[in-house]
Chain A
Amino acid sequence: MRGMYAVYRKEMGHYFVSPVAYIIVAVFLIITAYFFTEILTGYMQASFQASMEEAQFGGGQAFDVPSLVMRSFFGVLSTILLFITPMLTMSVYAEERRRGTMELLMTSPITDLEIVLGKFFASLTLLVIMLLPTGIGFIYMLRHSEPAAPWRVLGSEYLGILLLGGALLALGSFFSSVTESQLIAAMLSFGAILMLWVLNFGSGATSSAWASGLEYLAAFRHYDDFTRGVIDTSNVIFYLSFIFLGIFLTVRSVDSMRWRRA
């Protein structure tokens, strides 16, 4: 697995030597920070109004602001990932194919799997680096919330976003490996992810076997439980098998480059 580590290091270097990573991370953080502030102030106002009403009229509803903020925020976050992950993965193979560096990797004593895993873990690391700063707001919020806030829910939400992100990255890497054009790679993975997202809304209408099959495929539906703080093994397995399938297809696609007309 030394080859995998070498590829991983090279990919991380590529992300952070060029301005690509900095720009993607910066844009991501600006957008998420905006949503976090909006959602937090929104719920705080609602909670404040509710307590005012309670004082005036009695009764009223108790607000669990931290949980609501986290759920809404992570809901928004999954939608932002839909746009960001194709940009993270579009170049991983397409650019190497265009520049001819794939020939270097494929004639070196490393296996196709090592190449694919090295690249996948690098993009996953970049995703983690992107997500880490979003935790700052939550840590602050949870420390100051009254009553004591559910840390476990936050953990489940981050696990969920990581699994969802990993699945989308595996999918995007595959699409990058089938073309030499970054734009085509980005469009294909964006389209595929969008389809998986749309399935989430459309499949509830009917109850045929088709519909339930499609419903199962809706990658974002499996994420909902995580935002509620529920870690369901079946959801974890769904995402892990999604990632394995993506990696498997990418390895096959890299191998097929040898058989196609060069």
Chain B
Amino acid sequence: MRCPIETHDNAELLLAFCARKLDLDTTLMLERHIDVCPNCKEFYEGQRTVWQALDAWEAMPVSSDFDRRLYARIENEPRPWYSGLQELFSARWTRHAIPLTAVAGLLLTAGLILQQPKPSVPAPRGPATASVKSEIAPDQLERTVEDMELLGQFTAVARTEASSDTL
């Protein structure tokens, strides 16, 4: 194999070998290479010395009152005035309820708008006009009823979702 040290891109391979992070086949191949390559052997032995030295550097144990001091700091943290609102709107149930409520509100508004009596239009003369007028009114009424039913269904779903989340 090509010497990993000579090909700078493969120096990473040597480092991984020293850290024992290579697969078995690559490890065996590098072991055979290191046996015959003085540069790689020097790298490997030097790196192994570094690992062993770093392993010997054990950190000190954590103070027994670390957690107590941390929680005391957390409890003494001044809370911003908006934190209550922040917690309210970050709660999972509000993330579902708010959009559903908004949809229900829009549909309610649409229903109210459709229910408003249209401004009276002077009846054009002639019998044909009377028949057209009578055809429009039932369709409009039907649509309004459908919209109200849909609004009722959305409101029921919104209530169900909100109540299931709070449980």
Q: A and B from one assembly?
A: no
Chain A residues within CB distance 8 Å of chain B: none
B residues sitting closer than 8 Å to A (CB atoms) are none
